[in-house]
Amino acid sequence: MTNDETRMRGVVPLFVIRASSFLRYSGFFILVLLALSCRKAGQPEAIWCETGTGPDQVVYPRGIAYSPSDDTFFIVDRIAHIQHLDHKGGFLNDWQMPQWQQGKPVGLTVGPEGDLWVPDTHYHRVVVYKPDGTLVRKFGEMGTEPGQFIYPTDIAFDSKGHVFVSEYGDHDRISVFDQDCKYLYEIGRFGQGDGEFSRPQSMLIEKDTIYLTDASNHRLCVFKTDGTWVRNMGKCGSGPGEFRFPYGLDMAKDGNLIVCEFGNNRVQKIDKQTGKSLEIWGQAGRQPGELAYPWGVAVDKRDRIVAVDAGNNRLQVFEE
């Protein structure tokens, strides 16, 4: 018995190595196996839904809303199929918008009472449902007069229960309604300047501040709920803190903004005060962790980010 062998015996009680070449071979193959089995960094925590028209299936999903009261999600896709999912992406119930041949909703919002508010974009109105799909109310019609809409995109609520509806299409603005959906006033107008926006795609209201994705101007806008412009954040581009068609918007637990970009195929965490990019998820692609045409985003109480990966017909769940 050589000294080496004696030493090895103490380390590996099962084997006695006669040649070091075996170590090299087996080490190589173990590395290969490890490489094959390892997950890539940046992969999502989960992928929900697949292509199709059935339960837990989507066709180009476009809107998402999180319901904190029961820890569930609502999503809507290109066939106006609204699905109610649990916090694991499991199917709960579904229904379809009454009319959708002209076009489908592009956003969803859960109201203070837990109802689902749907900006029925191409029918120029707002439709409200109970979580079980029961129709509660609908209001609005096509037009540019107060209380009318062209293409409503999103709905938000302030602490008073006022309803804020954003719209685009020749008459970009945010219309404000009271709790009974009676028109009160409007905020902003079409344009590129301060206090103006071009395709306000998503809104978020925190206290008396409105955060808005100004999609075609590739920036975020901040207003007061009384209509006072506060500031703009970001510019067109692909770098951190820059945007290309920011569409989806939600707020993380730490109060920062989560923005998904239709153009840059990614999700950014943005400091709501400075506009600085804090974190980025995703890039253009079809693989897990990659996004194609992300339309919407929602953050749940676990601080998980659920991105609507429209072009890949799925939802992807990212963890902060």
Partner 1 sequence: MNGLSEIVGFASPLKLEYMSWGRALLIYAALAAPIVLLGVRSLAGLGPVRRWVALGARLLVLLVLVLIVAGARWQRQNKDLEVMVLRDVSQSTSNVRNYPGASLQSSVDDYLKDLSNDPKKPNRADKLGVISFKEDALIDAPPEERLELDTRAIRDPGHGTDAAAAIQLALASLHQDAMHRLLLIWDGNATSGDIDTAINAAKAQNIPIDVMPLDYNVQNEVMMERFNAPMWKRENEPFTMDIMLRSTNAVPVTGKMTVRHGSELLDLDPNTPGMQTTRLVTLKPGLNVEHVFVPPLGTTGVHQFVANIDADNVTVDNGKGAAKTVAGDTLTQNNSAATFTFVRGKGKVLCVQNVPEDDAKILRDALTREGISLDETRTTVDQFPTSVVELQNYDAVVLANVPRGPGGLNEDQQRMLATYVHDMGGGLVMIGGEESFGAGGWGGSKLEEVLPVNMDIPAQRQIPKGALVMAIHSCEMPAGNYWGEQCALEAAKTLSSRDEVGVISYAWAGAGGGGSQWDFPLQEKGDGTKLQAAVKAMQLGDMPSFDDMLDVALHGGNQGQKGLIASDARQKHIIIISDGDPQMPAQKLIQECNDNKISVSTVTVYTHTPGTRSPQMDQMAKLTHGKSYGPIESNPNQLPQIFIKEATVVRRSLIETDKNGYAVKYIPSISDIAKGLEYGTPPVTGLVLTSKKPNPQVDMPLTAGPNGDPLLAYWQAGLGKAVAFTSDAHTDWAAQWVSSQMYDKFWSQVVRAVARPPMSNDLEATMSVQGNKAKIVVEALNKDASFVNFMNVSASVVTPDANKTEQVHLVQTGPGRYEAEIDANDPGAYVGVINYRGAKSGEQGMTLAGTVVNTSPEMRELKSNDALLYQIADRTGGKVLTEFDAAAANIFRREGLSPSASPLPIWDILILILLALFIADVAVRRIAWDWNSTKRMAASAREYVLSFTTTRKVETRQSIDALKRVRTEGEGKAGETPTLKGGALRAEEARPIPSAKFEAKGVEGDISKVVGGATDKPVPPLPKKIEPKGATPEGGSSLSSLKAAKKRAQDKIREQEKGDGQ
Q: Give least dist CB 96 to partner 1, A.
A: 8
Q: Which of 129, 168, 177, 281 binds partner 1 (CB under 8 A)?
A: 168
Instruction: Identify residue 21 by its one-letter amino acid code.
Output: S
Instruction: Identify residue 186 by its one-letter amino acid code.
Output: E
Place of tokens 């707002």: 126
Q: Which of 43, 198, 209, 277 binds partner 1 (CB under 8 A)?
A: 198
Q: Give least dist CB 48 to partner 1, A.
A: 17
Q: Does 199 bind partner 1 (CB under 8 A)?
A: yes
Q: Three-state SS for 93?
A: strand
Q: Which is nearer to partner 1, 163 or 296 (CB)?
A: 296
Q: Does 195 bind partner 1 (CB under 8 A)?
A: no
| Segment 37-43 long-range contacts (CB within 8 Å, at least 24 positions apart) | 40/288, 40/289, 42/281, 42/289, 43/288, 43/289
Could you tell me the two tokens for 267? 């999700």
Burial class (CB within 10 angstroms; exposed 0-12, middle 13-18, buried 19+) of 319? exposed
d(CA 141, CA 153): 14
Among 202, 221, 206, 310, smallest CA distance to 252 is for 206
Judged by CB under 8 A, the number of residues near partner 1 is 57
Beta-carbon contacts of 50 under 8 Å, excluding residues fewer than 6 positions away, are 56, 57, 58, 313, 314
Place of tokens 């190589």: 28
Burial class (CB within 10 angstroms; exposed 0-12, middle 13-18, buried 19+) of 288? middle
Give the containing element (helix H, strand E) for 212: strand 209-214
Q: Give least dist CB 276 to partner 1, A.
A: 19
Q: Which of 7, 18, 40, 207 binds partner 1 (CB under 8 A)?
A: 18
Q: Does 54 bind partner 1 (CB under 8 A)?
A: yes
Q: Does 185 bind partner 1 (CB under 8 A)?
A: no
Q: Which is nearer to partner 1, 124 or 314 (CB)?
A: 124
Contact 152, 140 (CB under 8 A): yes
Q: Which of 31, 135, 136, 142 binds partner 1 (CB under 8 A)?
A: 142
Q: Does 170 bind partner 1 (CB under 8 A)?
A: yes
Q: Give least dist CB 21 to partner 1, A.
A: 7
Instruction: Give the contact letters, 218-237, x = binds to partner 1 (CB under 8 A), - = no.
Output: --------------------
Q: Does 98 bind partner 1 (CB under 8 A)?
A: no
Q: Which of 140, 263, 275, 289 binds partner 1 (CB under 8 A)?
A: 263
d(CA 51, CA 54): 9
Q: Which of 3, 11, 13, 39 binds partner 1 (CB under 8 A)?
A: 13
Q: Give least dist CB 291 to partner 1, A.
A: 9
Binding site for partner 1 (CB under 8 A): 1, 5-6, 9, 13-19, 21-22, 25-26, 29, 32-33, 52-55, 57, 59, 79, 96, 100, 102-103, 122, 124, 142, 151, 168-170, 172, 190-192, 198-199, 215-216, 238, 244-245, 261-265, 284-285, 292-293, 311
